[in-house]
Every structure is written in C-alpha cells, then in structure tokens.
Amino acid sequence: MSKIKGANVLVTGGANGIGKLMGMKCLQEGAANLIIWDINEENLLQTQKEFSSKGYRNVYPFLVDVANIDDIERCATEVLLEIGNVDILFNNAGIVAGNKSFWEYSSKDIEKTIQINISGVMHVTRVFLKDMIKQRRGHVVNISSASALIPLPKGSVYASSKWAVLGWSESLRMELELEGGDLHVTTVCPSYIDTGMFKGVKAPMLFPLLQPDDIASKVIRAVKKNDILLLQPDNVNIVPILKGLFPPRIFDTVAGWLGVYSSMNTFEGRPEADKVPEKSVKAK
C-alpha cells in the first residue's frame, strides 16, 4: 500500500478543483511536502495562503505551464534540488474543448489539448520517474476520463486525449510492474465532475454529476490501496462489458438513449486560461 504520510506529493493543476482537494487531503494524511504546479498565479498563492492558515507550512507553489517542456524541465530541476524526489505524482492538469464537431475545431484547439492533456502528462512523469525507479518506490496517478471508454460527440478532441492517457497509463503500469519494486500507477476515469471545467454539460441518465470532494476522497483511497483503475461513478465499470457484449449499433442506441451522446451539446466550460507567465514562483 502506498503511504502518503511522509511522502513528497506533487499535484499538477493543484490550485483549483479536484487537484486542490486532493492536495489538501494529502496534507491531512501527513504528506511531508505538497508541491503544487499550476498555470494560475493568483490561485496558486491563494491556495498556499489557505493551506498555511490551516497550519500547513510545507506547501510549495510553482507557476508551471505543462504544455511547455522547457517549463516542466526547469521547474522539475528546482523541485528535485530544493525539495527532493517526488514520491507521489498526481497528473491532474487538463483542459476541455467541446461543443464542436471535429471539423469545427481550430488547429490551436487541437494542439493545445494534445500539449496539455497528453504531452504534458507524459513529460511531467518523465522528469520524475527515473528517480522513483532509482529509489524503487513511487506512485503515479493519472486523471483520465470515462470518455476514454466511449465515443463523445461534440467532444472528440477531449475524448481522444483521454483515450491516449488511458492507453499510455496502463502501458506504463505494466512497464513499472516488470521493473519491480514498490512502483505503482493508478488511472482514474471519472464521468463529469461538478466543477467549472464542465460547466453546461448535461449529465447522462444513470451517470449523475460527481461531487468534487467525493471523487477526490475516492482517488486518495485508491492511491493508498494501490488500485489499478478507478472508474466513477461505479456503474461506469459496466461500460467496457456492454461494449464487448453488444454490437456497436446496439451499444450506440443504448448510449444515445441514456443521453451520453448529447451530453456535450450544451457545454460551456471555463473562460480562457490566463496568459502563461515566464517564471515559476515558489513559497519563501
């Protein structure tokens, strides 16, 4: 079982939403240090201030654009030199582009989604993984999506990025298991979460909007138990079974009737992210 107590924990996209909640829960579990990477400086400093007011002085905010490899490598070097090896990594940062048919997406929409949701996840893991392997201990948590298991009309670019994360994450898990040691990967595939990221979506029948605190708590439990996959809500677990049992047209009929295929039609999402700053910030 992975121990959060005494561990150095890094959460990308950790100044907002479930990333912030998972960071708080790791502090409550006794994490030695919480390292927060986020693109929003105001949220970063506010989160550090909030956690500090609750008695947690071991919080280190870094302003990082995970779409920028140079940014990742520079800030990773600072973390390794000044704080130490990362024991538990939460790849939580991501964006959602939706409510468009594929041919309506701009090249910028596609590239930004790939850079943040796929390349960013891989490169952040890459810069910390070798030290995990050297110490024969570490846990990587990748936030994918239930959309990695099913078609998502009007969300094809987002869904494709999460399919990629799921395939890569499961492959990485097998590689680390073959490597041996106390090395683990947990892949999280939640349905829509009730945060600003998914503003406007219409939750399908039988798949209600997930509450952020509840899903964050379940992720922490999954990490402590070294769970391989966490699909939420629980009935998402039946999706791969139904896809295997039903011919595609019948499956599509059922999914359409449940409202899965129309869920992104009213998607609004968050406003455009702040401009990417050039320097990282750290707690003094």
pLDDT tens for 122-152 read: 999 999 999 999 999 999 999 999 999 999 9
Give the residue among 228, 239, 94 at the shortest CA–CA distance from 169. 228
pLDDT tens for 271-284 read: 654 444 444 455 43
Residue 174: both structure tokens together: 């097998």
pLDDT tens for 210-264 read: 999 999 999 999 999 999 999 999 999 999 999 999 999 999 999 999 999 999 9
pLDDT tens for 87-102 read: 999 999 999 988 999 9
- State the fold for domain 8-262: Rossmann fold (3.40.50)
Q: What are the residue boundaries of the structural domains of the chain, listed by start?
A: 8-262
Rounded distance, CA 229 to CA 189, Å?
8
Instruction: Write down the pTM of the prediction.
Output: 0.94
DSSP notation for 66-133:
TT-HHHHHHHHHHHHHHT---SEEEE-------SS-GGG--HHHHHHHIIIIIIHHHHHHHHHHHHHH
pLDDT tens for 164-209 read: 999 999 999 999 999 999 999 999 999 999 988 999 999 998 888 9
42 pLDDT more than 60: yes
Query: pLDDT category, 73, cuts 50, 70, 90?
Result: very high
Of 56, 158, 192, 261, catalytic: 158
For the question of residue 56 being annotated catalytic, the response is no
Asked if 183 contacts 133 with a C-beta cutoff of 8 angstroms, the reply is yes
Rounded distance, CA 168 to CA 163, Å?
9
